Every structure is written in C-alpha cells, then in structure tokens.
C-alpha cells in the first residue's frame, strides 16, 4: 500500500557568514553543506494499519512524511502509494491523502474555518452529499460546529488542530498522515483527538501514520511502531513485541511489616534492585518467572503487607531504543 525503499533525502543548506564581508562573500561563493534528513529508509504499511512513526527530534520523521505526501522529492530511492509515485503523479496520489502537520496549519489564516472547508470542497471536487455527511461526522466527533464561523487566526491551538483534522478528512481520504497532531494540547483535547483517530481507523478503515512525542498517544493508538534515528529505521514491529524485547523487565514492589533478615531476601528468579527500609523492589524477566510464582516464593519467607507489580512501560522502551541506536 505504502512503500518506501532505500529512500534518501539530502537538504542543501547555505551557511550564512556573519558580517558585511561575510555576506558579500557568501553572495558570490555560497558555502553549501549537505544535510542528510533521511538516510536510506525502507518500510511497508498495509491498508487499514495504524502505525506510530517515532524518533527523537531531527530523526527525519517530518522529512519522510513530506516525501510520502509529494511535497519533497527524494534524493534517491522510491516512494509508492498504492503503486503510484507521489512525485511523478502528485495529483492522483494526494487525492487519497489527508495530511495534518501539527506545527503548521494547512488552513487559511484569515479565512473562517467554514470558508476553508468550502474552498477544499471545490478543490477536491467533493459532491454536496459526501461533503455534508463528512461535515456532520466531524461536527459530531470533534465538536467543531460552534467554530465554523470563526476566522482561523482566532482559534486556540486545540481548536485549530481539530479544524485541521476535519479539513484533512473532508474528501474521505484512505490514508491519513498526522505529524504531531497532539503537540501542545491539553489532556482533554488530546483525548478528543485520539478518539477521533481511533474512530476514523475503525469506522472508515483509514490507514493512519502518526508521529508523536507523546507516549500516551503511542500506547493508546499504535499497534505497530516504526522507530527511526539519524534518518535510519532502528526498530519496526508490533508495539507489544517491541516492549517485550526492548524493556522485558517487570518490577515487583513489596511493603513489609518488619525488618527482614538479609538472608531471606534472595530469590533465584529475580534481582533485588532497591531496598528502602521496609520497601523492596525486585526486577524480574517476564519469560523467566511469572509474577505469582515470585510473589508466593517471597511471601513464604517475608512478612508482606502490600505489593504491586509494575509492567515495563513505553517510556523505558523508547528511551532504550533511542539510546541504543544513538551509540550504534
């Protein structure tokens, strides 16, 4: 469906020199440097998938999305959407795409939200019936009916983002690219946007590619993750599998009623990583021992009053992935 193979994107950056002599010099002999935004990326995404595209700042996420949506031409490699190149056949590809860049609105700053929609209706040649039913749906899911007559520049960030999402869905695209759609939003607005994304994926079967730095987005939305760093793919797989592989540890926290005998603290299936007075923290491998086995083993020796098992979290996993790929 969506296919990238060995895609490289190099940017030409002109170094600005300081001072008058510097700027005269660079006028006649500009000093150009090449920046590799994306350095040989390949992946494939099937119809109806919901994929998180992650990576640290400057990893090349936005660059990839701009190539997938026909904004940028790759320096080398091929990009295909439904078998067609968005660069050679831009118009027919972008017809089926919805794109939202959280950092920059695609709406017209000085138009009312509704006017922007009307304009899109004409540009995409959306027939009246589809337009109305899509608009209806956006009103319902995003609750933007009150905003339709507000100029875009007067919208708050969260309202504008909802407007952008609605605008991206008006022509019923089969693929939706979301580049940081929850950036800078409050908890409530984030939830709205997440349920919108889930709904589009579930009800319409829209393929969704999402970049974000918000781990709750990842946890709640993405079944599959593609992680990049320095312009290269470092991980690609189902979320649960990646967690298991990158952050396989679980933690068991015990509260005791009396000071334990140091001899009794040891357990063969787990490692005691912290002891603070009556609070003990064990780390264990999901595949080595089950939580219940460990608990019954330890509570036989210790006077346990309370306990808690902490699952490995996405934060640990992401940190681990970014760290290991940076040193590699």
Residues lying near other proteins in the complex (CB under 8 A): 11-14, 30, 62, 66, 69-73, 87, 90-92, 94-95, 97, 99, 101, 103-104, 106, 108, 110-111, 115, 118-120, 122-125
Distance of alpha carbon 58 from its chain centroid, rounded? 14
214 neighbors 238 (Cβ within 8 angstroms): no
Least distance to ligand ATP, CB of residue 282, Å = 36
Regarding 62 and contact with Mg ion (CB under 5 A), the answer is yes
> Is beta strand 232-238 parallel, antiparallel or unpaired with respect to 97-101?
unpaired
Q: Give 57 or 146: the residue with its C-beta nearer to other proteins.
A: 57
Token match 């949506």: residue?
69
Regarding 229 and contact with Mg ion (CB under 5 A), the answer is no
Which neighbouring-strand residues pair with 256?
304
Regarding 212 and contact with Mg ion (CB under 5 A), the answer is no
Q: Give 57 or 263: the residue with its C-beta nearer to ligand ATP.
A: 57
Q: List strands edge to edge, sheet with 31-45.
A: 31-45, 2-15, 76-81
- For residue 2, CA distances in Å to 99, 226, 264, 299 come to 15, 13, 56, 52
Q: Give 228 or 252: the residue with its C-beta nearer to ligand ATP.
A: 228
Ramachandran region, residue 247 (left: φ > 0; alpha: ψ -120 to 50; beta: rest): beta
Q: Give 213 or 301: the residue with its C-beta nearer to Mg ion.
A: 213
Q: Give 115 or 236: the residue with its C-beta nearer to other proteins.
A: 115
Strands (DSSP E) found in the chain? 2-15, 31-45, 50-54, 76-81, 97-101, 175-179, 207-211, 224-229, 232-238, 249-256, 270-276, 279-285, 304-310
Q: Give 167 or 179: the residue with its C-beta nearer to ligand ATP.
A: 179
Least distance to Mg ion, CB of residue 86, Å = 18
Phi, psi of 274 (to 5 degrees): -150, 140
Tell me which of other proteins, Mg ion, ligand ATP, none is bound by residue 59, counting a contact when its beta carbon lies within the kind-specific cut-off of 5 to 8 angstroms: ligand ATP
Applying CB under 6 A, the residues found at the interface with ligand ATP are: 11, 13, 35, 37, 55, 57-63
Cα radius of gyration rounded to whole Å, the chain = 25
Site string for Mg ion, 235-254 (x = CB under 5 A): --------------------
What is the rounded CA–CA span in Å between residue 265 and residue 282? 10
DSSP 313: -
Q: Give 176 or 256: the residue with its C-beta nearer to Mg ion.
A: 176
Least distance to other proteins, CB of residue 124, Å = 7
Least distance to other proteins, CB of residue 282, Å = 44
Least distance to Mg ion, CB of residue 253, Å = 37
Tell me which of other proteins, Mg ion, ligand ATP, none is bound by residue 55, counting a contact when its beta carbon lies within the kind-specific cut-off of 5 to 8 angstroms: ligand ATP
Closest residue by Cα to residue 256 from 289, 285, 281: 281
Tell me which of Mg ion, ligand ATP, other proteins, none is bound by residue 71, counting a contact when its beta carbon lies within the kind-specific cut-off of 5 to 8 angstroms: other proteins
Least distance to ligand ATP, CB of residue 42, Å = 17
Tell me which of other proteins, Mg ion, ligand ATP, none is bound by residue 90, counting a contact when its beta carbon lies within the kind-specific cut-off of 5 to 8 angstroms: other proteins
What is the rounded CA–CA span in Å between residue 25 and residue 42? 40
Least distance to other proteins, CB of residue 12, Å = 6
């Amino acid at each position: 469906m969506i296919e990238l193979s060995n895609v490289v994107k190099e940017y030409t950056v002109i170094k600005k020199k300081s001072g008058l002599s510097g700027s005269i010099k660079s006028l006649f002999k500009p000093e150009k440097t090449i920046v590799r935004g994306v350095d040989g990326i390949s992946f494939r995404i099937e119809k109806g998938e919901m994929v998180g595209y992650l990576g640290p700042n400057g990893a090349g996420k936005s660059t990839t999305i701009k190539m997938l949506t026909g904004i940028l031409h790759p320096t080398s490699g091929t990009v295909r959407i439904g078998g067609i190149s968005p660069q050679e056949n831009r118009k027919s590809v972008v017809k089926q795409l919805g794109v939202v860049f959280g950092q920059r609105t695609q709406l017209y700053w000085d138009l009312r939200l509704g006017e922007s929609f009307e304009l899109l209706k004409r540009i995409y040649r959306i027939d009246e019936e589809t337009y109305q039913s899509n608009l209806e749906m956006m009103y319902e899911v995003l609750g933007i009916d009150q905003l339709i007559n507000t100029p875009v520049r007067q919208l708050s960030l969260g309202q504008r983002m909802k407007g952008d999402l609605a605008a991206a869905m008006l022509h019923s695209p089969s693929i939706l690219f979301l580049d940081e759609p929850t950036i800078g939003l409050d908890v409530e607005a984030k939830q709205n946007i997440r349920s919108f994304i889930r709904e589009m994926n579930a009800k319409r079967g829209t393929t969704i590619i999402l970049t974000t730095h918000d781990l709750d987005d990842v946890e709640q939305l993405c079944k599959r993750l593609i992680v990049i760093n320095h312009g290269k793919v470092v991980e690609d797989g189902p979320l649960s599998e990646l967690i298991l592989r990158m952050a396989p540890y679980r933690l068991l926290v015990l509260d005791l009623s009396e000071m334990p005998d140091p001899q009794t603290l040891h357990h063969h299936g787990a490692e005691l990583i912290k002891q603070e007075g009556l609070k003990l923290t064990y780390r264990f491998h999901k595949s080595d021992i089950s939580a219940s086995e460990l608990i019954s083993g330890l509570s036989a020796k210790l006077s346990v009053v309370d306990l808690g098992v902490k699952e490995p979290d996405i934060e640990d996993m992401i940190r681990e992935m970014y760290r290991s790929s940076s040193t590699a």
